[in-house]
Chain A
Amino acid sequence: MDNNAERSLVEQVLKSISDKRAINIVGGDSKSFYGRTPCGNVLDVSKHAGVVNYEPSELVITARAGTHINEIEKLLAENQQMLGFEPAFCNQYSTLGGVIAAGLSGPRTASSGAVRDFILGVKIINGYGQVLRFGGQVMKNVAGFDHSRLMVGSLGTLGVLLEVSMRVMPIPETEMTVSFEHEDANNAIEFFNKLAAKPWPLSASAWLQGQSKIRLSGTENGVVETIKNIGGEQDDNADQFWIDLKNHDLQQFKQTDFIQRVSMPSAAELSTNPAEQVIEWNGGQRWYFDQDDVKQFQSQVELGNASLTQFRGGDRNAEVFSKLDPVSMRLHQNIKNAFDPDRILNPGRMYKDL
């Protein structure tokens, strides 16, 4: 079976340009909940699939955008490697293109980095219907403006992703999770940030319902020694916990269809302590389930120190991401215009005016 659908994708984009009709780019359709309500004709990228190149000793994988993310993770695991950003909100249909375009990273973000930190190169179709390559398959590359990272989190508004090269990481020799009781979330935040300032192999942190969890990854002796230092109760069923956390499969997330995300400096204290909240990334990412619970962040959001995302549910025809200042918004519009002057590609998916 030929899984190279590039020509057909280009033709469809060109047709949409000439018809002046918007395109709704879809991979596995696992993230249609995210961003503003999609509009336009569906452009199905899932047929453009397959790993193009993978050399474990180069720490680089290149795959077509429609490749299932779990297929990539499986191949990497066979070679004791993994995606360092732990792709979040994925199911069996999720594709690489969707993961990159949404730019949602998992629990390892605060220690290893986010999606954008692992991307090396892209091949895209821009809003002129041109196929362009940026970046490459090497770790260090400063030739030209960084259009690969620009694609991460741009929600398909700048280009249809065709191919992506990413840096991969070795799977740590050992991973262990320890739990601690912290009634007050502020105590957990303080604890996480104190640990993060130590030279220990932390790879994730989370707090919910009075309990903190710390994951450690590295050589066995290094992890064991660190646990001797920090204490806590060993949690032997933690692997599933971290997967459920990143995919929002924990009870807290499943019992509601309204979820908000607050992104802020990790050590920032809470002024009120909502009953229901989930905190990760040492405090850098916090989840809330009630409109009133995020009011305490409003002033920080207005100062630009924090951002608020209407992550799931609510009115998705309104703006769902924090407002940009007027100069930044103008730059965003200019950039959109530089890639997609006819506003064909996922118009309005990120902001109404993009």
Chain B
Amino acid sequence: MDRHELSRLFKDFLPGEAVIDHPVSLKAYECDGLSAYKQQPLLVVLPQTITQVQACVSLCSEYQIPIVSRGAGTSLSGGALPHAQGIVLSLAKMNRILDIDEYNRTATVEPGVRNLAISQAVEHLGLYYAPDPSSQIACSIGGNVAENAGGVHCLKYGLTVHNILELKVVTIDGELITIGSKALANPGYDLLALMVGSEGMLGIIVEVTVKLLPQPETAKVLMGVFDSVEQAGDAVAAIIADGIIPAGIEMMDNPAIRAAEDFVHANYPVDAQAILLCELDGTEQEVSVLCQRVKSILNQRGANETRLAKNEAERALFWSGRKAAFPAVGRISPDYYCIDGTIPRKTLGPVLNEINRLSEQYQLRVANVFHAGDGNLHPLILYDSSIPGQLEQTEELGSKILQLCIEVGGTVTGEHGVGVEKLGEMCIQFNEEERNQFHRLREAFDPDKLLNPGKAIPTLARCAEHNAMHVHKGEVPFPELDRF
């Protein structure tokens, strides 16, 4: 169907301004946070009610038009990349907070509500919504659910999947279902867990009920300064082995420290090979004891220096460098590419050494920020897309790093999702029977495969192509690495 005909069909039930069909206006939607991939959709529609979403989906179902849901478009994996023959269904206008249930400690919101807006709306009650992706001022709760977003506090407080109670979802047939409830145990299969992280492929999320937690009485941050990333990694293991679960524990390597320091002037030690930021929260009494214990562990594990943020302002300053790590790297390089592998923490040293070796081999600089508590590594590859061939080189290096993550027993994506970006690596992480199980599950929800087609789970053909390109028979990747 052509653009104008389809546009007319949508305008039958949507106000004119809720249907975007002009190529100039469509430009704003041609990519998400992974701007290396661009595609114009046929149309963008911006429904404002659940009934309108149902009507949009029914129409697409009838005419077999692909649907790409979109929240704030901050995905780093191309999850919200449009489909050339499809529509983008933007949930951005559904951005009202519907209910705050103080007694059950829940908030019910529309999918377009920004992550941070939830915590702001309940702050006066002493409550907050725990998952805090660095993009939290911009990203939507619907997108968080679709990607199972994490943040710096997920070691202690969990990912999106641990903090969502109920969803309202529009199925591909245009039907509205409720998944989960405000109760902690629900009958039937755990469809809630299935929806979380499903990258817009199982249904359209139109309402979200989240858990709210009491704001901790106090939070303190310690910085540990190290001569090597291995030492810093050992210190993390030692803290956890001591029975402490920090609210957050983050590591940055030297290139990341320098970039962040240049940008926010957090007084980071620019000669250090690694810094650890360890946040402890809880009651005053608890935190004071834990700070002492962590400080002595950091010292025992060879920290040159430990700093305790003296007050709230200094705590915010310590974090500012970490939170701004991506844009900081963006300032020192025309482009950067963010990788999202997770590894067993004990493999950190060898993995970083191998990343350094690859970085030299490809002549591309890499800065590493690391959710050290849960093993989620974000190497940022610095490149310049205006140099012909450099994006391809970068992608190849990124793919090597992800294969390394699989090799050491990890995964290709900890929190950013597969999207269009990691389809090739999915062929390595999962065998054909496993991928087919994913496809059958998807068809259980969407037999015609209209929801976000081409994302997350690679087809057989795609993997055949990938394997022909990348895998040489009988050859073990990274033979120089110990097997863990």
Contact = CB atoms under 8 A, between A and B. Distances in A.
B344 A143 contact: no
A266 interface: yes
A285 B184 contact: yes
B457 A199 contact: no
Contacts of B261: none
A153 B190 contact: yes
A65 B412 CA distance: 26
Nearest to A56: B241
B188 A350 contact: yes
A60 B345 CA distance: 11
A139 B155 contact: yes
A196 interface: yes
A153 B184 CA distance: 13
A200 interface: yes
A327 interface: yes
Nearest to A114: B184
B374 A138 contact: yes
A254 interface: no
A interface SS class: loop
Which of A144, A218, A338 is most buried by chain B, counting CB atoms within 10 A of its CB? A144
A328 B177 contact: yes
Interface string B282-294: 1111101110000
A57 B411 CA distance: 19
A304 B178 contact: yes
B415 interface: yes
A139 to B, nearest CB: 4
A141 B414 contact: yes
Contacts of B289: 219, 221-222
Which of under 10, 10 to 19, 20 to 34, or 35 or more describes the interface residues of A?
A: 35 or more
B104 A137 contact: no
Given A201-B283, A263-B185, A307-B183, 20 more contacts: A56-B241, A128-B433, A139-B374, A142-B413, A145-B442, A146-B161, A196-B214, A197-B126, A197-B127, A199-B126, A219-B286, A226-B283, A265-B104, A285-B184, A305-B183, A306-B181, A324-B187, A324-B188, A325-B177, A350-B188
Interface of A: 55-60, 80, 103, 105, 109-110, 113-114, 116-117, 126, 128, 130, 132-134, 136-147, 149-150, 152-154, 158, 169-171, 173, 193, 196-201, 218-219, 221-222, 224-226, 261, 263-268, 281, 284-285, 304-307, 309, 321-322, 324-325, 327-328, 331-332, 334-335, 337-339, 350-351
28 contacts: A58-B344, A58-B346, A103-B190, A105-B185, A128-B433, A134-B434, A136-B409, A139-B375, A140-B159, A140-B374, A140-B414, A140-B415, A142-B147, A143-B429, A144-B418, A144-B426, A152-B193, A154-B190, A158-B189, A218-B283, A221-B286, A263-B186, A265-B183, A305-B182, A307-B183, A331-B444, A337-B444, A338-B444
